[in-house]
């Protein structure tokens, strides 16, 4: 069920955008955490929307629109533009203008879908900031808030950002690659966001380090992944598990995810 491979030309056209997204690990923003990087902050925001029951495909498009806009604008996001006095249509126009810079590289039907999602970002980001404040309330933090904090603090073994950074960037890269692989955007986005849950509890030793775990590796990964899933409300945990199952193996979703993982470099 692997299906035909995307043309090298279409993959090559996306590489400059994927490289620009990787650079966002060095960009600071203030959606919810003024000390956080763009991807780690948006990672928290995406989960906040999912915890409130938003559709994964809608969240995937919203977050990918924000990320693609940031690939040109950096930390000048919807909230910064609103704070400068721009009204919602003007904010959306600026974000769409940044997304349009990449329109020739982005596969259909995403250019139109991302432009539409950008129009909702001014209100969506304001609402997400409120969700994040509730989620990370110091007096009564939810059980999944600790998991998200751990992922934001946990470094990748190669030093290229945190586990939250990488999870988010792979997720939006997977959405951008999804039309080329005929993958489901919501499925690959949700799977990528959750793919590193075990690293909230297991330090990242890289492939060679994990190889030393030998016959114990799979059981250890399963234990810590389940610990992260158990911190989620049951309906969302089941949705995440189903997405991960659908994206396993040599399927369009699985191949899309592997390509997204490989695309996130420095």
Task: Output 192 or 248, whichever has higher pLDDT.
Answer: 192
Among 147, 102, 94, 139, CA closest to 121: 94
The predicted pLDDT at position 200 comes to: 94
Please say if the pLDDT value at position 162 is more than 90: yes
- Residue listed under structure tokens 């203008």: 97
Residue 31 pLDDT level (bands cut at 50, 70, 90): low
266 — pLDDT class (breaks 50, 70, 90): very low
Distance, in Å, from the CA atom of 123 to the CA atom of 131, rounded to the nearest integer, reads 13
Give 40-89 pLDDT, tens digit per residue: 999 999 999 999 999 999 999 999 999 999 999 998 888 889 889 999 99
User: Would you state the pLDDT for residue 7?
Assistant: 84
Q: How many CB atoms lie within 10 A of CB 246?
A: 18
1 close to 243: Cβ distance less than 8 angstroms: no
pTM of the entire predicted model: 0.92
Residue 119 CB burial class (10 angstroms; 0-12, 13-18, ≥19): middle
- Residue 259: the pLDDT is 93
Task: Write the pLDDT tens digit of every residue in 166-182.
Answer: 999 999 999 999 999 99
Cα 19 from Cα 16, distance rounded (Å): 5
Residue 118: pLDDT above 50?
Answer: yes
């Amino acid at each position: 069920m692997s299906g035909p491979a995307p043309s090298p030309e279409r993959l090559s056209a996306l590489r400059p955008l994927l490289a620009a997204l990787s650079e966002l690990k060095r960009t600071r923003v203030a959606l919810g955490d003024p000390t956080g990087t763009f991807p780690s902050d948006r990672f928290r925001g995406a989960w906040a929307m999912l915890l409130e029951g938003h559709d994964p495909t809608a969240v995937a498009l919203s977050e990918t629109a924000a990320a693609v806009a940031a690939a040109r604008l950096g930390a000048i996001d919807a909230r910064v533009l609103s704070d400068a006095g721009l009204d919602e249509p003007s904010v959306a126009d600026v974000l769409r203008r940044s997304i349009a810079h990449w329109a020739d590289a982005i596969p259909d039907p995403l250019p139109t879908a991302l432009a539409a999602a950008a129009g909702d970002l001014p209100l969506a980001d304001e609402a997400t900031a409120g969700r994040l404040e509730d989620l990370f309330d110091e007096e009564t933090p939810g059980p999944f808030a600790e998991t998200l904090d751990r992922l934001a603090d946990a470094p990748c073994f190669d030093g290229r950002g945190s586990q939250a950074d990488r999870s988010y960037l792979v997720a939006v890269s997977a959405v951008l690659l999804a039309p080329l692989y005929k993958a489901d955007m919501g499925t690959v986005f949700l799977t990528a966001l959750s793919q590193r849950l075990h690293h909230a509890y297991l330090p990242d030793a890289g492939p060679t380090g994990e190889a030393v775990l030998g016959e114990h590796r799979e059981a250890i990964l399963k234990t810590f992944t389940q610990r992260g899933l158990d911190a989620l409300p049951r309906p969302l945990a089941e949705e995440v598990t189903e997405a991960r199952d659908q994206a396993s193996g040599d399927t369009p979703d699985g191949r899309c995810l592997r390509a997204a993982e490989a695309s996130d470099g420095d």
